[in-house]
Structure 1
Amino acid sequence: MGLGDIWGLWRKAAAEQANGGGKEQDVHTRIMKRNYEAVPHWCFHLMLVIVMALSLYTCEGFDRQLQLPSWGLLLACGIAFSFTLPIGVISATTNMQPGLNIITELIIGYLYPGKPLANVVFKTYGYISMAEALTFVSDFKLGHYMKIPPRSMFVVQLAGTVVASTVHFATAWWLLMTVRNICDVDSLPPGSPWTCPGDDVFYNGSIIWGVVDPPRMFGSLGNYWQMNYFFLVGVVAPVPVWLLSCRYPRCAVLRNINLPLIFAGASGLLPARSVNFVMWGLVGFVFNHVVYRRCKAWWMRHNYVLAAGLDAGVAFMGVLTFVSLGYFDIYGVQWWGGTADDHCPLASCPTAPGVVARGCPVVP
């Protein structure tokens, strides 16, 4: 799917909205328009104005402790606004959502180096706001299919957001004021639950991208400047596929090549094993090509049910694995799918200084 497809879908949706719909709309949309009133646009515009004003006050007030100036906030909101539509279309058609977390950290790291809190705030407004917007739209889509009144959905979403954010902020503030040495693993008593693993991710990201800053890693001062060529790869990669699809318009394989989906899937390659991708490709090929060609009607009825069943199976097996193995402290299960990718003989070598092991270097 390219920019032309995304632009075409947006123009079609905008034209249907302007013309009040018609026979081309699906049955769910016709039922919802006939039975319920839509949420007025001014409600969304009012929320945008209020949130933007509060965000500007938060960044510029409080003695500017968040370090992010107003131009950084507006830039972050502009990035979220620009990417919400294309990433939303990709997410709606492929169920995969490419993230902007690294992109936002990289941009503000170059523009405003040495500011860790500004880096975190910019990432929050530039990436997490877009992700929350898509989650909001996804909830509305579920309510659309379940025939829930849109205005009731809007009120519930708004009330839930206000209550959840208020309780979250109050709880965090209370913990910071009452728990001594919170999130400090070295100073906490043994067995303390306040280790804050999720906060460590944000903290490490602020240090890497804010304090160290990207030029010392991906610029002329760093060792990984070659990684910048992958931005060029991302720009050029769709061009040959588009040219081939124009040259051979009847080729279904070329029409179905989705470069953003391929790149997003490859982002999970490192923590996953090759057996995961082999099984994913096998199931996808069998059910999306063989079954589709032989029994199109069955595929159209049960494809999404199969996808939901596979997701539910993964969750069920996760619980079953914990109950049968993790609950009894059984770890380190060895099987061919978990060891086929192990090609680093030094990975099991000791890292303590002075320890001698056969075939391993001695750490001084």
Structure 2
Amino acid sequence: MTSRRIRCLLALLATLTLPTCALAAQPAHYRVVAYDTVQHPIPAEDVDRIDTLIFAFAGVADGRVTLVPAARERLQQRIALKAAHPGLKVTVSVGGWSVGGFSEAASTAAGRQRFADSAAALLVETHADGLDVDWEYPGHHESGIASSPQDRANFTALMKALRTTLDRAGKNNGKHYLLSIAAADGPFVDGIDIAAVAPSLDWFNLMTYDFCNVMTPTTCNHTGLHASELAPADARTLSRAVRQFLAAGVPPRKLVPGVAFYGREFADVDPAHHGMFQKFGHYQGGHDWPELKANLIGHNGYVRYWDAKAEAPYLWNEQTHRFVTYDDPQSIAAKGAYVKAQHLGGLMYWEQASDPDDELLKAVWQGLQ
């Protein structure tokens, strides 16, 4: 073969392989998962930045997944968004803090199947794309719900029943119904056999926020990415939660950590270290992002500090001894970089109503690009 023919052949092969190389060079897609409780319409520009909108909440009544008429009407409004945004998935979350009925429903094979059948029927009737199970938490009763030592095994069996039932329903209409769970970390996930549950799920929504609240002994970064310099060895953080689930064998792409669109305020806080990891007199309450910006960050004596190790902001009011912990665009950008570095599935946030001007949603979306 002449050198000219060889050069031509090499040029042709290079041309043929360009699409494959270009495809391989494309960045991975990361999910933006939004919990949605808002009563008003969601702006189109917001919808375009969201991959999965999780409608919250359905309830559990007599062991069945139920949705009251007013909520069903609002769900249909969300599903109607898919006509103009065909890439959007709309799923239904069942449960939430203090919502019970799970332990009882999961305690028998018949109960688990009744739960799964009712969930599948709801998805088919409403044309939703999947189910998110927010049982807070198997084996725990801190929220006032019933629990049982058998919850751990029963939760695995419930997820298997849901996966089988949703797959069967999907075969009838040619679709894959998504299945996710809202999961905490540390001691609050000991009622879940993470490795056994993972194969049934499309992903885990990790509730990596509320690390300190009315029930904890000190303040903290309530949604910190890493541990503060002052944090005790067992302090909960987003990165520690991720490591816990990875160690259990969950594929990285099935992990979607959470971002908080709200802050938590503590009053009568001991003043050392600007109130960080200090005892407090009482929990003052929560503040959505617009309120944080308008009344607290840089206002009324609240000074913003940045915890470089935790990659998290906080506020300290020297006059009133009040401490506020929250997420902002800077900490969200750090979380996006972490998700990409660890090849995780994306970011989830709680919740849509807390960011009406979509400033934090933009930060989530941009951080994952």
TM-score where L is the length of structure 1: 0.22
Give the number of the structure whose residues are more often strand, by fraction: 2
- Larger Cα-atom Rg: 1
Question: Greater helix percent: which structure?
Answer: 1
